Amino acid sequence: MQKNILVTGSNGQLGSEMRVLAPQFPQFRFFFTDVADLDICEAKAVMDYVSKNTIRCIINCAAYTAVDHAEQEPLSARAINAIAVKHLCSAAKKHNAFLVHISTDYVFDGFKINPYDETDATHPISVYGKSKLQGEEFVRVSGIASLIFRTSWLYSSFGSNFVKTILRLSQERPELRIVSDQVGAPTYAADLAATILDILANHSLPGHPEIYHYANKGKTTWFEFAHEIVKLSGGTTLLHPITTEEYPTLAARPKNSQLCKAKLIQNFGIHPPEWKESLKACMEILLAEN
Ligand SMILES: NC(=O)c1ccc[n+]([C@@H]2O[C@H](COP(=O)([O-])OP(=O)(O)OC[C@H]3O[C@@H](n4cnc5c(N)ncnc54)[C@H](OP(=O)(O)O)[C@@H]3O)[C@@H](O)[C@H]2O)c1
């Protein structure tokens, strides 16, 4: 019998990649929703939806992801990234559904030198990061069977992201200034979506909240990331490295966003692809669309 899976926020980057992969998982019947069909801030709507459709698993791809806007809209960020997660936990608990929730490297302050592992102390330095940490806390306190995946620098051929922005700007401008003192790993949303669905399909799931870090393999800076994007596009735009201080933004970003994947590799035997390989795969799609 098919297992019913609710995917929230499924018009976003990660949710759209789930839609692409869905046909490869005939054991699952997917219920793809976004805010127009199911607003996760509406507690009763969430509870009714899970009950009416006999949902056995919720994958929460819905989020408030505008990191800078969040500084001016803390209530909206908190409503979607934190309070709504509580609603999802309540519905999952009542109807015995498994929850997959997505979080971020921005729960850390970035002052650590080495990659962050799941046991490292959190200390968000932005409204967005704080709201995402509160969301994690609601899952943890609920005690429900669940997985939280923290990821970083997400991009996809769907939605808006750094890759698409650099591709567009490099076609418009001869020179670009890009921050070169923040270190992290870009993550192709298609890889994260495949990992989540693989784990749900083929692995034994925890009976309580468990956090995992997921990012593509390797590390880079936004400057090197942009350089690779321009190179793969065949562009000639000149890139200049600048410091975070030279590119002021409303929200502070961690200088170190590296996430250690050892737990994922050890417990699930999953090895995330190298970031340049995944970028190439996404760029092939984007350049074919252009
Ligand atoms: N993007 C990154 O660089 C990044 C990095 C690390 C972690 N993450 C995390 O990864 C997850 C997926 O991110 P993403 O980049 O795929 O996000 P995204 O592209 O911004 O998609 C989020 C989706 O959620 C929808 N949504 C917003 N409010 C909602 C509500 N109340 N009810 C239902 N749906 C709602 C959005 O609709 P609208 O567009 O209409 O608002 C959008 O379709 C998020 O948890 C995010 O925090 C992202």
* Residues having CB within 6 Å of any atom of ligand 1: 8-9, 11-14, 34-35, 39-41, 61-63, 65, 80, 84, 102, 104, 132, 151-154, 159, 189
List, for the chain, all residue ranges whose pLDDT scores fall below the cut of 50: none
Residues 91-117 pLDDT 10s? 999 999 999 999 999 999 999 999 999
What is the DSSP annotation of 71-113? GT-HHHHHIIIIIHHHHHHHHHHHTT-EEEEEEEGGGS-S--S
pLDDT at residue 2, as a whole number = 87
Q: Where are the domains of the chain?
A: 3-157+189-216+258-272
* Closest C-alpha among 282, 209, 211 to residue 13: 282
If you measure from the C-alpha of residue 131 to the centroid of ligand 1, how many angstroms do you get, rounded to a whole number? 13
Pocket test for ligand 1, best of 17, 65, 67, 275 (most atoms within 8 A of CB): 65
* Closest C-alpha among 186, 183, 178 to residue 247: 178
If you measure from the C-alpha of residue 175 to the centroid of ligand 1, how many angstroms do you get, rounded to a whole number? 30
Q: Taking the domain 3-157+189-216+258-272, which CATH number applies?
A: 3.40.50.720
Active site residues: 128
If you measure from the C-alpha of residue 67 to the centroid of ligand 1, how many angstroms do you get, rounded to a whole number? 11
Residues 163-172 pLDDT 10s? 999 999 999 9
Cα separations in angstroms, 253 against 119, 207, 250: 21, 33, 10
* H or E segment and range at residue 210: strand 209-213
Cβ atoms within 10 Å of 146's Cβ, excluding its own: 27
